[in-house]
Amino acid sequence: MAAGSTTGTSTGTSTGTSTGKLTETLARARKFLAEDPDPETRAELSALLARAEAGDDAAGADLVERFAGTLSFGTAGLRGRVEAGSARMNRSVVMQASWGVGRYLLDEGARFGVDARKRGVVVGFDGRLSSRQFAEDTCAVLAAQGVPALVFLDPVPTPLCAFAVEQLGAAAGVMVTASHNPPADNGYKVYWANAAQIIPPHDSGIAACITKAPAPNAIERVAPPDAAARGVRRLVADDVERAYLDAVRGLAWHRASAGGAPLRIVYTAMHGVGHRLALRALAEAGFLGVIDEPTQADPDGTFRTVAFPNPEEKGALDRAIAVAKEAGAELILANDPDADRLAVAVATDGAYRLLSGNEIGMLLCADALDHQPLPVGAGKKLVVTTIVSSTFLSRMAKDKGAAYAETLTGFKWIANKAMERAPHGEHFVCGYEEALGYSVGPLVKDKDGIGAAVRFAELARALKAEGKTVLDRLEELFVAHGLSHAVNWSVTMPGASGMERIKGAMAALRKDPPAVLDGKKVVRVDDLARDGNPADVVVLHTEDGARLTVRPSGTEPKIKLYDELVARVSARGEIAAARARLEAQGQRTKAEVNARLGL
């Protein structure tokens, strides 16, 4: 495994099945097969190889895709389709990744004050079909290196795994999850000892160690009974979950409204692992009788009731909405399959409106700025977001006299930025990214869909006690700090050929950026890759304050585009007309850009 690609994709530039390329691929595939310790992927790859060697063009093309490089750490760790191949997720890739993590901790940990043999590595996993096996392989490889694996007994939400790293004082953490990706995918997230996802130098350092890993069938593993007997396998105790729930409850600041008007809530776990912990956290915050969407409550790696297990996707909340209508619920809360993201829909005019990630982030950050107490010694409250999220947060922070920071895409940057600013007297109260990721306070140094769900429910209950709705509050914020309206879109381009198209579109944008967008002059072009950042991002600013950000996805084969448009409104009655104007402007920009880049 080598460095150099984004998550869920691979290095390499293969785009076809020419004789030379296929010959090279067949050699790679045979080597992979000879070294693969997993009988299932060996059988799968053997059959595919036989078809390709017999002249099956489709099989040859499939092999070229599977071996078009190697997975490496991107926006959110390793992520890819579960099947045989160096550019896929499988037991061989997981074993080599785990060997590299252990080796880096043992070789370099002391430089950073980390003793992996004493502190161990937390290992968690979600409910996907391959997650438990990948977690067990991780534990077995670490144990063989003398690094204790602190493993959860059952599938857990990602935020609980991140919390456990800090709670247990571990040297690192590994979470086996593909979050909201399709059922065929899985992934591997790594946390450093500070409980945040790895950033430089640790990501490149681990990647370098992975390249030195032995063949998968030569990597030593220790079976669970033997590892436990040697003291290098321990279960994470239930008191870690209890500590997390206590911390979520302790962060509440709307306690006065807890006994007020009840709030009817529907919750869905989206076939993931959030159900039990989310409902416990909500109950302990005073939300008794939360209504389940029953068919999506239990972990199911096939995600049988949704076409795509992402609460952002059209139709993903249809079942929850049906339950909410029947129950007369005012609020729908939805976690994604590993419960690190939160989607929200609110009742309005007999229907339910799904809030955008930016809107949820605005509301949570505004509430934290207004009500979260500052600890003794802190000088300012700090809010953090990413370069593709709304500029609204920067305006609101300035108006409220709060500190503000903006980071690259990926929650690892938000968490590390919050820790970086703490010594300067800035207390992190809330951070978010537009893709439904939020962290309220320093409780979890990653996205926390469960903690965010509790905070949002408390906000809605407090507003109801004042005779207001969430939408009322959102409009108040727009009048106070300016209206932001987003027109976001993405284009999926799967496979190696798709990656080449994405690279070509980004290169074309850099070489010849538009001088005008929807008749507005482009006054500045920011190329983050040229500014010394590890980011393939181009940002265009127009004279009217609009901002178009273009980047490849870090987790899926997509190019993503974010157009934010802004306007000032003096009263709530002006918002609808202003938003309609901005939407029309954004759609015209979308058509122009798609045509220019061939999307």
390 in catalytic set: no
d(CA 185, CA 71): 13
> CATH code at 551?
3.30.310.50
Residue 35 included in any domain: no
Q: pTM for the complete prediction?
A: 0.91
Q: Active-site residue among 5, 14, 72, 179?
A: 179
Residue 200 and residue 153 share a domain: yes
For residue 13, pLDDT over 60 is answered with: no
Our count of domains for the chain comes to 4
**What is the domain range of residue 249?**
243-340
> For residue 75, what pLDDT band results from cuts at 50, 70 and 90?
low
Mean pLDDT over residues 369-393, rounded?
92
Please report which helix (H) or strand (E) contains residue 351, including its range.
strand 351-354
Q: Quote the mean pLDDT of the chain.
A: 93
The residue among 479, 503, 538 that closes a domain is: 479
Share of the chain above pLDDT 90, in %: 86
Residue 2 included in any domain: no
Residue 224 and residue 178 share a domain: yes
d(CA 95, CA 99): 6
Residue 432 included in any domain: yes
Share of the chain above pLDDT 70, in %: 96
Residue 441 and residue 412 share a domain: yes
Residue 167 included in any domain: yes
Residue 346 included in any domain: no
Residue 370 and residue 397 share a domain: yes
Residue 160 and residue 295 share a domain: no
Q: How far is CA 343 from CA 332, 348, 354, 436, in A?
A: 8, 16, 8, 6
Residue 50 included in any domain: no
Residue 497 and residue 529 share a domain: yes
- The 3-state DSSP class for residue 85 equals coil
The residue among 236, 268, 298 that closes a domain is: 236
For residue 4, pLDDT over 60 is answered with: no
pLDDT digits (tens, 9 = 90+) for 118-145: 999 999 999 999 999 999 999 999 999 9
* Residue 231 token pair: 């003291």
pLDDT digits (tens, 9 = 90+) for 328-353: 999 999 999 999 999 999 999 989 99
The residue among 198, 221, 236 that closes a domain is: 236
> CATH code at 322?
3.40.120.10
Please report which helix (H) or strand (E) contains residue 92, including its range.
helix 91-108
Residue 413 and residue 286 share a domain: no
Residue 77 and residue 225 share a domain: yes
Residue 353 included in any domain: no
Task: Give the pLDDT of residue 375.
Answer: 86
Helical residues (DSSP H) of 116-157, grouped into ranges: 116-119, 131-144
* Residue 418 token pair: 């919050």
For residue 12, pLDDT over 50 is answered with: no
Residue 543 and residue 457 share a domain: no
- The 3-state DSSP class for residue 526 equals strand
* Residue 157 token pair: 């939400």
The closest of 554, 453, 599 to 181, measured between CA atoms, is: 554
Residue 406 included in any domain: yes
pLDDT digits (tens, 9 = 90+) for 444-463: 999 999 999 999 999 999 99
Mean pLDDT over residues 245-251, rounded?
96
User: End-to-end alpha-carbon separation of the chain, Å?
Assistant: 31
d(CA 312, CA 435): 8
Residue 187 and residue 111 share a domain: yes
d(CA 421, CA 378): 11
For residue 540, pLDDT over 50 is answered with: yes
Residue 189 and residue 135 share a domain: yes
Strands of the 185-191 sheet, one edge to the other: 78-81, 185-191, 172-176, 121-125, 149-151, 233-235
Residue 542 and residue 401 share a domain: no
Using CA atoms of 507, 508, 513, 516 in order, give the dihedral in degrees to the nearest 10.
-150
